Structure 1
Amino acid sequence: MATLRTALVGFGYAGQTFHAPLIAATPGLALSAIVSGNAEKVRSYWPAVPVLSNIDTALADPALDLIVIATPNHTHADLARRALNAGKHVVVDKPFTVTLDEARDLAALEAQSAGLLSVFHNRRWDADFLVLADLVRQGVLGRLTHFESHFDRFRPVMRDRWREQASVPGAGLWHDLGPHLIDQVLCLFGRPATIFADIITQRRGNGAPDYFHAILGYETGLRAVLHGSMVTPDSRLRFAAHGDGGSFVKYGLDHQEEMLKAGRIPGCAGWGNDPSPARLTRIMDGAVVQEDVMALTGDYRCFYTAFQAAVRQGARNPVTAQEAIAVIELIEAGYDSARQQRVIKL
């Protein structure tokens, strides 16, 4: 099977930490070029990979099959459009785009192009999310009534980077971490009927929003709470799911990001293993039964493996443009809700 020769565009945090090592470690993909303005930095990590100074060189190269865009959020739409127009397959890091109109335009362009378009919602392959999704599918928790998904950190001082600058379109926590939580809740429960969100800046300084608390309402009565903060010293809570048949509570984040930051190679010993069990509480024959449940094995390479199969074998796209559009719709609706301080019907 032919290898997908890949050009990674951008070598900031997402490109360096996630995409480069995952592409290089996925069978059927080759990290063939990196587009970056900092060639010295790239070569210190990937000395054998050619460094290109601009994306035009990559788009004009017929030997390159796939363009992976890991640049600042506000550049995603333009770069993806140019790559699709050049006949390339395209993977865009989350968030897909900054606006809903941009996302819809790219989906329409994909339908007319020769390339396949996908969005890197890697946290579908978090170890703890996999086991939670399995329990929900099996109906172990009964009818779900309350769900919480937290992505909290303790970084009380703003950093000098585009993600935290109020003047940069698509900056802020709702655009940064919100897509992870939104995509996961859409995978679990589908599209909600309403959203009510509070999105503000809590840290000192005139930075981008660093706090969000969104409540998604479902017609079944389920309320799904998505919460992110940069000023949470005890930031361990990850998931809490409660139903009339039981509860699932998980503390601690999936370890793949930390392993990547430490330079571990995807697929190495212990890759995707989560040593922190979740607590499952079930109501069985009127009695309360509690047990620890280990997470399944997570693996972000599954996204790229599935994408390669979609291109070469016609398998299902792991994250379609329409699925990514649903995320951007909720991001925009969340901002609308926060500005208007009211519930938004979807």
Structure 2
Amino acid sequence: MAPINVAVIGYGLSAKVFHIPLILALPDDFKLYGIVQRSPKPDDDAQKDHPGTKAWRSVEEVYSDPDVDLVVITSIPSTHFQMCSDALNSGKHVLVEKPFVPTAAEADKLCQIQHQSGKLLSVYQNRRWDADFLTLRELVSSDRLGDIAEFETHFDRHRPDAPADSWKVVDEPGHGAIYELGTHLIDQVYHLFGMPQRVTGFVYLQRHGVKSGSHDACTVLLHYDDRRMIATVKAGVVSPEVEQLRFWVKGTKGGFKKFHLDVQEDQLKDGLRPGEEGFGEEPESHHGTLTVIEDGKPSRATHRTAAPATYVKYYRVFAKALRGEGEVPTTPGDARDVLRIIELAIQSSKEGRTLSVV
């Protein structure tokens, strides 16, 4: 079959780092057909960077182009609902960056629009393909850790100074740490264990010099009462550590502890591309440790990180779905459920109480 014609809306970091390199890595499946960039500059021009692609200045031109098969939306969250709706109603498949939309109610509406359109819609939760998460998922599914009692997932950084000008720091729906980084972490927990029974949230400004704007830190407790497990999701900007904790999981048979983030984001920012030597591969110094109980005593050893499937796998799965060979990599229903958890966490933080998931 002919490659799928892809139109990318936006030409910022998300498009340049997390989408276009992956699209170009699968030429048999996808063709970078065109890019919407409203205001190109001499040193930032999508058409110069990608000659031979169409250059649009408005999203309406994408919707009216009959040769566009798939629209990839990398714009700010407040634009996602309208763009997804318009693209679906114009007969295009859609892949939208996280957070899906600012509210679960909007997500519900888009689920309905997607169903009525007959087109596919997926949300870009690429960190389901982090190598360390795949490592942990295998440990959980193979019962190496036994019954999980505590599951911690962190995305902490040490950036205590006031943030630079960015749309991300504006206090608007869909902005802030719980939507930016928390969305990834909550999605990973949801992907492993489903919906929790209760949610306790702490959503706040951690930087002392910042008096307004979107929150920059969050700690969310997901209570899985049916499993007797608590999952802690944490993203902060005051964490002066040489090695940042990523996972700490404790079970009846063993535990897993891991530092450092998956390497793909930094590699993509540095210009390394999928398929090149070393892409997605962690150095041994970043591998986690697995502790197991042997003869009633804990025994600890380095546990090698899984061979990376890489974020390209997201696009491979999506290509199969577009050809009728399975489901999209992240369903809009999954993304809606994550937004429900986020909204409960924010409400919990405001009210100072644990809330039930209904």
Q: What is the TM-score with the length of structure 1 in the denominator?
A: 0.97
Q: Which residue of 1 aligns with 2:159?
A: 155
Q: Establish whether residue 212 from structure 1 lines up as the match of residue 233 from structure 2.
A: no
**Structure 2 residue identity aligned to 1:209:** H
Distance in 2, matches of 1:44 and 1:215, equals 47
**Structure 1 residue identity aligned to 2:257:** V
8 Å contact 1:141–1:244 — kept in the other structure?
A: yes
Query: 1:284 is matched with which residue: 286, 294, 299?
Result: 294
Q: Establish whether residue 2 from structure 1 lines up as the match of residue 8 from structure 2.
A: no
Query: 2:269 is matched with which residue: 246, 261, 274?
Result: 261
Structure 2: gaps (5+ residues): none
Q: Which residue of 2 aligns with 1:221?
A: 228
Residues 38 and 296 of structure 1: CA distance in aligned 2, closer, same or farther (over 3 Å): farther
2:203 counterpart SS class: strand
Q: Which residue of 2 aligns with 1:89?
A: 93
**CA shift digits 1:193-244 (9 cap, x unpaired):** 0110100012222121001001100112101000001222216100000011
Equivalence map 1:74-223=2 (5 Å) = 74-156=78-160, 157-166=162-171, 168-203=172-207, 204-205=209-210, 206-219=212-225, 220-223=227-230
* Aligned pairs, number: 345
Distance in 2, matches of 1:45 and 1:202, equals 38
**CA shift digits 1:297-326 (9 cap, x unpaired):** 330011111011001133121111111111
1:281 counterpart SS class: strand
**CA shift digits 1:150-198 (9 cap, x unpaired):** 00112222110000112x3211111101110011001111110011010
Structure 1: gaps (5+ residues): none
**CA shift digits 1:77-102 (9 cap, x unpaired):** 11000000001000011111100110
**Structure 2 residue identity aligned to 1:290:** R
Shift of 1:25: 1.2
Query: 1:244 is matched with which residue: 239, 249, 252?
Result: 252
Equivalence map 1:20-59=2 (5 Å) = 20-26=20-26, 27-40=28-41, 41=44, 42-59=46-63
8 Å contact 1:39–1:51 — kept in the other structure?
A: no
**CA shift digits 1:225-280 (9 cap, x unpaired):** 00001222216100000011111000000000001101111221111111111000
Residues 43 and 231 of structure 1: CA distance in aligned 2, closer, same or farther (over 3 Å): farther
Q: Establish whether residue 336 from structure 1 lines up as the match of residue 341 from structure 2.
A: no
Q: Percent identity?
A: 37
Distance in 2, matches of 1:73 and 1:227, equals 21
**CA shift digits 1:27-61 (9 cap, x unpaired):** 40111111111333124532443221011111111
1:339 counterpart SS class: helix
8 Å contact 1:274–1:294 — kept in the other structure?
A: no
Distance in 2, matches of 1:266 and 1:44, equals 22
1:199 counterpart SS class: strand
Q: Establish whether residue 304 from structure 1 lines up as the match of residue 304 from structure 2.
A: no
1:264 counterpart SS class: coil
Name which of structure 1's ranges 214-223 and 290-299 shifts more when overlaid on structure 2: 290-299
2:67 counterpart SS class: coil
**CA shift digits 1:114-163 (9 cap, x unpaired):** 31000110000000000100000011111100010000112222110000
8 Å contact 1:158–1:207 — kept in the other structure?
A: no
Shift of 1:11: 1.3
Distance in 1, matches of 2:64 and 2:40, equals 20
Distance in 2, matches of 1:181 and 1:53, equals 34
Distance in 1, matches of 2:39 and 2:263, equals 28
Q: Establish whether residue 233 from structure 1 lines up as the match of residue 240 from structure 2.
A: yes
Distance in 2, matches of 1:285 and 1:191, equals 35
Q: Establish whether residue 321 from structure 1 lines up as the match of residue 353 from structure 2.
A: no
Distance in 2, matches of 1:155 and 1:16, equals 24
Give the CA RMSD over aligned residues: 1.2
Residues 229 and 44 of structure 1: CA distance in aligned 2, closer, same or farther (over 3 Å): farther
Q: What is the TM-score with the length of structure 2 in the denominator?
A: 0.94
